Amino acid sequence: MLPLIVFAVGIVFHNYQRDRQAATQRVLETARSIHLLLDAEMQRMTGGLQVLALTNSLRNGDFDNFRRVAAGFLDQYGKDGVVLVADRRGRQAFSSLTPDTASLPPRNNLEIVEKVFATRQPQYSNLFFGEVKQQLIITVEVPIIRDGEVLYDISFSPPIEVFQAMIERQRLNQDWTISIFDGDGINLARVPNPQATIGQHASPTLFAEMFRRSEATLPTVSLEGVALITGFTRSRVTGWTVAAGIAENSLVAPLWRSLAITSVIGGVLLLVGLGFAVRMATTIARGEMLHDLLIEELNHRVKNTLAILQSIATQTFRSASRAERDKFEGRLGALAEAHNLLSTDKWQGSDLQDVVSRVLQPYLLNASERVRMFGPRVPLSPRLALVLSMLLHEMATNAAKYGALSNDTGTVTLDWEILEESPGPKLRMIWTEAGGPPVTAPVQRGFGSRLIERSARDQLGGEATVDFLPHGVVYTVTSTLETGE
């Protein structure tokens, strides 16, 4: 059940990451959408002012007649919209608020006025305090050109509510925070909490990034201290920035809810699974105990049989020579060692490396550097382990008595490899002696050589060859590897 629970938790986190990625894309798309609406609205204002700038009454200084034309333009934006006309020094020649322009103060945003006269292009101000309205405003500025010269600057100050209404319509729910910032990073429209935040800079986490890139998504903290996933984009028309953010809590809350449900269901399933596991473990343990008991009984009987066989052999070979008795007891000992190795592994087979090391252990005690072994790991069945133990014992015994291990300089190299053949893989072992006494082929083959050849043919399903080369004896044994080894 644990893998299932981990898998379920993984799915929950995967869904959370996917929702987070979707939210990140959604905030950027929302900011882009508001950006397009803002540009369209500002271009509409600019286009209206450019039409006003082309009227003959304005270009000819007939401000009384122009007042009626300007009133038609202002009707689109309500009573809080203001149109001003000023010269390069900021002196007001016309105001939609009053015909008494002599009492009006000069424009206090002379920097943008100068920019209009210098560039002869429409300009968009940052948020500033208007002397006429006595509140924070932004302006759209358009040059009035006559005879190729900029005569006046016509300025329109739209109600801030126009921008506020724009972002409120685009706000999806209460988890969203949307702002429009001027070129200095100051809020000119915002939801939520517009009264307390308009005129303030963007939060520090967003403010610095706004001036590094024109568009991005990033985690931020709002002015209210709420963690947001925010996307922003800057307008090429006005230089203003639109930012939209969604509260991270709106994404994390479903995650914790899903994790809680998964934990409860997983806990119940885990308890049920543990109940079944305990019951099955008890049954398996009983079976394992019975299996171990049978193995121990088998080992005990085999050891008793070997002991009886050794006693019988001792009585039978009483009249035989000491060398003959040692040969038999050595072969019997090799069989017992192989049996001990298989008993350790509970008769489930053994690795060839372990079999070789066990058989050659007496010869490695004082001359480990003289016996070298090379080959991959090869799992053996119990039957093959027993037969190969007998063959290796015969090879090592002959080497110790007559071959490379009978002096102080000889060496033995044992290599094995797996041959991929049809119908199945085969094991090939090569025992190579060198540095021993001079080798001569025997006139008559002994019991050991016949044991090696017959065992390889009859019990291993392969063959064995013995080459009496001048530099040393070489045994080559091939064996069929049984299925499942």
Per-residue pLDDT reduced to its tens digit, 361-385: 777 666 668 888 898 988 887 778 7
Say whether pLDDT at 296 is over 80: no
Amino acid identity for residue 243 in this structure: A
What confidence score (pLDDT) does residue 483 get?
A: 44
What confidence score (pLDDT) does residue 141 get?
A: 93
Strands 227-234, 215-221: parallel, antiparallel or unpaired by DSSP? Answer: antiparallel
Of the candidates 144, 139, 132, which has an alpha carbon nearest to the alpha carbon of residue 53?
Answer: 144
Strands 411-419, 371-374: parallel, antiparallel or unpaired by DSSP? Answer: parallel
Give the residue-averaged pLDDT of 409-426: 86
Say how far apart CA 373 and CA 382 lie, in whole Å. 21
What is the chain's length?
A: 485
Neighbours of 9 (CB within 10 A): 15
Alpha helix (H) residue ranges in 54-153: 56-59, 63-74, 110-119
Cα–Cα–Cα angle for 419, 420, 424, rounded to 5 degrees: 110
Say how far apart CA 4 and CA 13 lie, in whole Å. 14
Mean pLDDT of the chain: 80
Of the candidates 338, 30, 305, which has an alpha carbon nearest to the alpha carbon of residue 175?
Answer: 30
What confidence score (pLDDT) does residue 336 get?
A: 60
**Cis amide prior to 122 (ω within 30 degrees):** no
What confidence score (pLDDT) does residue 331 get?
A: 55
Say whether pLDDT at 283 is over 60: yes
Please answer whether residues 94 and 113 qualify as being in contact, where contact means their C-beta atoms are separated by less than 8 angstroms: no
Count of alpha carbons within 13 Å of 164, Cβ hemisphere only? 14
Say how far apart CA 154 and CA 141 lie, in whole Å. 6
| Collapsed DSSP state (helix, strand, coil) of residue 251 | helix
Weakest-pLDDT range from 201-205, 229-233, 269-273, 344-348: 344-348
Q: pLDDT band at residue 484, thresholds of 50, 70 and 90?
A: very low
Give the residue-averaged pLDDT of 374-403: 82
Kindly give the interhelix angle for 322-344 and 249-316, rounded to the nearest 10 degrees: 160
Give the residue-averaged pLDDT of 261-272: 70
The predicted-structure confidence for 73-99, as pLDDT tens digits, reads as follows 888 887 788 898 988 888 888 888 888
This prediction has a pTM of 0.52
Count of alpha carbons within 13 Å of 278, Cβ hemisphere only? 5
Of the candidates 326, 382, 372, which has an alpha carbon nearest to the alpha carbon of residue 351?
Answer: 382
Say how far apart CA 152 and CA 449 lie, in whole Å. 121
What confidence score (pLDDT) does residue 485 get?
A: 43
